[in-house]
Structures are given as structure tokens and as C-alpha cells.
Chains A and B, each alone.
Chain A
Amino acid sequence: NAGVTQTPKFQVLKTGQSMTLQCAQDMNHEYMSWYRQDPGMGLRLIHYSVGAGITDQGEVPNGYNVSRSTTEDFPLRLLSAAPSQTSVYFCASISGGVAEAFFGQGTRLTVV
């Protein structure tokens, strides 16, 4: 089925550990983005990409890295996890221009 595949669904990390959240889409969308969702704050944009090889910072980029080597994949890296990064993360994929956004199922990350 076409859509956005986000892995893992759940993850527990110790402070200082690193990990990569994977996001892949098979709809040939140019625009992909990562959000974190925290209680009372809605979805906040971390990083986004308007095409392969192009990434930019969103609202809350500190502590996260991204890369976009292919149109399909947009991984989010936590280099040194901190408790403040405990959150639910969503990856989104949107076709060019104004169109429907497709979301992954989310990753619930806990940093202890």
C-alpha cells in the first residue's frame, strides 16, 4: 500500500545514546518533514526537505539532524539523546504545491 512508513513505533533510549528514526514514502513526493508532538503544544516542525539533497530547519531543530539522499527516505537522527527529546515523532510527506499531507504512524520515544 502506498503511504509513509515510519519506524520504529516505540523506542526507549538512555541519555546520551544516539538513534535514527526512519521515514520512507513511495509516492514520489518532494516535500517531507519531521514533527514532534508534545502535550499542549501540537505538532512542531523539526526539519523539512523540499527535495533530494535539500534540507532546512523548522521551529525546533536543535538536537536533531536530517539528510535527504533520495526522494524516498528522510531519516531523523538524534546524536545524543536528552530527556527533553521524549516525545511522539511524526514524519509527513506532501506532494508539490498545496496538497494532502500523509503522515507516518508516529514513534513514541522515551529518553531516560
Chain B
Amino acid sequence: SQELEQSPQSLIVQEGKNLTINCTSSKTLYGLYWYKQKYGEGLIFLMMLQKGGEEKSHEKITAKLDEKKQQSSLHITASQPSHAGIYLCGADTTGNQFYFGTGTSLTVIP
């Protein structure tokens, strides 16, 4: 069973549109990571959230961790073709085991 539920599974957006990807856990998250993977390549670290209510931004990507530390959202503003790829959330829910969501495949149409 998946510790982390990620939605949606896939997303197709027009260039310039905003979008949001969600990551939900049934357990308290001790640390939540967002990664991006370009097709056929390795994982690229985007950002990490630790504190409830924390929000971080990198260029046009913003991630938030809710107050209860059980859900995170990744928001991309004014999407570009370079944003295309698979976005994965990862988290430590037990103190020792790091799990990942199922991933969201993002396609940005020029």
C-alpha cells in the first residue's frame, strides 16, 4: 500500500496556465520532499518542508505543508514547457522509512 497519495496522476496544461499537485498522508509527516524527474533521467530535488504551515518557493514553483503536516501542495505559476516531467513527493512518516507518492506526470503544451 502507498503511504502517500498523490493527485492527480497526470496533468496536461496549456503553457502559461497555473496548476497544483497534491500529496496526502494518513500519518504525520516528519519531512516532506518534492522532486522532479525528467523522462528517463534521475530525480532532481526541488524543496523540502518540515514545519506545519511552511511555504517555500523556487522560481515559479511554490510548495506548502499544511498545519497538521499531513498534506502538501505544489503549485506552478505560469507553466512553461521546461516544467514538464514527473513530480514526486517523498516523506518520512515513521522516523526511519522514506516513502514516495505515485507521481504526477505533467505535460505542458506550447
Measured between alpha carbons, how far is A105 from B40 in the docked complex, in Å?
10
A41 and B92 contact, CB distance less than 8 A: no
| A-side interface size class | 20 to 34
A35 within 8 A of B: yes
| Complex interface: chain A residues within 8 A of B101 (CB) | 42
CB-nearest residue of chain B relative to A106?
B42
A42 and B98 contact, CB distance less than 8 A: no
A98 and B30 contact, CB distance less than 8 A: yes
| Complex interface: chain B residues within 8 A of A90 (CB) | 42-43
A positions within 8 Å CB-CB of B: 31, 33, 35, 40-45, 48, 50, 56, 58-59, 90, 92, 94, 98-106
With an 8 Å Cβ cutoff, the count of chain B residues facing the other chain is: 24
> 1/0 contact trace for B14-57 toward A, CB 8 Å?
00000000000000001101010000011101001010000000
B6 and A42 contact, CB distance less than 8 A: yes
| Complex interface: chain A residues within 8 A of B50 (CB) | 98
Measured between alpha carbons, how far is A58 from B3 in the docked complex, in Å?
12
| Complex interface: chain B residues within 8 A of A94 (CB) | 98
Q: Report the minimum CB–CB distance from B13 to chain A (whole Å).
A: 20
